[in-house]
Amino acid sequence: MIPYLLFATAFGLLLLGIHRKMIARIQRRPGPPVWQEILHALKFSFKSTWVPATASEVLFVSVVLIAIGIWTAAFFVLVTGGSLLIIFAIYMLHKIVEHGFGLSSGSPYGKFGGVRSVISAASEIPLFVSVSAVAIFTGSLQISDIIAYQAESGPLFFAIPLAALALYLVILSKFPSSPFAIVESKEIVSGYKTEHFGVWRAGLETCNGLKTYVLLLTFLSVFVGAIPFIGVLLAMILIVVSLAFVCALCPMLSPFDSVTIQTIITGIMLIYVLYLGAFG
Amino acid sequence: MKKKTAFRLMVVVAVVSGLALVLARAGTIPEWLYLAVLVAGFPLFVVFLGLWWMAREGDADIPFMGY
């Protein structure tokens, strides 16, 4: 598990680097090398580090540990075929952690990012309703059961494409430069992570790498099923490339528009799930 | 935190995680306990590694509050 955990973190950072590179190439810029995010994590590790004078010291440091810890737990739940509900609970915890990041520093930009994190949670988390469509088909929310169901009946991606689209939107909203990335949009500098620099930012980068890997692996496990490991990695790259196209071509939405669009999609998903429940 | 302290704590976390791996492989402790040790240990390892590796410990500063 330890080598796989380290690999997942590094590969997640590499995926974020591929994402940045793809966005740059789509916008006809050279862009950074694909391993830029790994270099970022390393670079921040040997920067000068301190806690801002206005910060709540305990919260400022502990949110970094909690952020990495919860995604490590999510990773283990996922690879051991545990419950999908736990992964979603961890996703919700992450929104609280983002809020903690923002509020801990005493910086107004961090606070704005933290507040936006709560606003976006109100519209992102209901998107998980789509996964009840998975339960309707498989009769379980255990990832091992969902994978076993798909081994017999084929990928759920083809059976419930709208549910897959909803989870894709959740992943999209967690990617940098996404239309829904209101928690770290440029008008609030870096949002909730503005004042976390040096070693603290390196920890946050580690969390981001692991989070990216976990979210993409969740998507593949739930909607594609068991595929060879190299296939998983290639599929992750394909999803990241598709996300890069969306991020490069769509403008970042204002917080109000972001929440409105996600809420409308959640409404459509509710009708879809009710339809599946009644007639599926 | 002094770099020497961060290094010692990092080594302690690495040794405990390694020990948990060995004990789990030997069947002495259950798998979930090994994973729980990693959930607690991995964040600590990352942060202590960074604190040991960092350039220097700066003085606390007040963040930019806007114009």
In a domain, B61, yes or no: no
Cβ-in-10-Å burial (0-12, 13-18, 19+) of A256 comes to exposed
Of B39, B57, B64, the CB nearest to A49: B57
In a domain, B58, yes or no: no
Given an 8 Å threshold on Cβ–Cβ distance, is B49 in contact with A66?
Answer: no
In a domain, B29, yes or no: yes
Chain A residue whose CA is closest to B18: A2
| Domains identified in chain B, total number | 1
In a domain, B25, yes or no: yes
Q: Is A65 in the B-facing interface, judged by CB distances under 8 Å?
A: yes
Asked if pLDDT for residue A128 goes beyond 80, the answer is: no
In a domain, B18, yes or no: yes
Domain that holds residue A47: 2-279
| Domains identified in chain A, total number | 1
Measured between beta carbons, which residues in chain B are less than 8 angstroms from residue A108? Answer: 65-66
Q: Is A7 in the B-facing interface, judged by CB distances under 8 Å?
A: no
Report the gap between the CA of A95 and the closest CA in chain B (Å): 18
Given an 8 Å threshold on Cβ–Cβ distance, is A108 in contact with B66?
Answer: yes
Q: Over range A252-257, report the average pLDDT.
A: 84
Among A47, A49, A62, the strongest candidate for a mutation testing the B interface, having the largest count of B CBs within 10 A, is A49
Q: What is the pLDDT of residues A32-50, one digit of tens each?
A: 999 998 998 888 888 777 7
Report the gap between the CA of A53 and the closest CA in chain B (Å): 5
Q: What is the pLDDT of residues B2-58, one digit of tens each?
A: 888 989 999 999 999 999 999 999 989 999 999 999 999 999 999 999 888 876 776
pLDDT category at B65 given cuts 50, 70, 90 is low
pLDDT at A280: 66
The pLDDT mean for chain A works out to 87
pLDDT at A53: 77
Taking the model in full, what pTM does it have? Answer: 0.90
Q: Is A46 in the B-facing interface, judged by CB distances under 8 Å?
A: yes
Asked if pLDDT for residue B66 goes beyond 60, the answer is: no
Q: Which residues 175-214 on chain A approach chain B with CB closer than 8 angstroms?
A: 194-195, 198-199, 202-203, 206
Q: What is the pLDDT of residues A213-243, one digit of tens each?
A: 999 999 999 999 888 999 999 999 999 999 9
Output A75 or A197, whichever has higher pLDDT: A75
Q: What is the pLDDT of residues A170-198, one digit of tens each?
A: 898 888 888 887 777 666 677 777 777 88
Domain that holds residue B31: 3-53
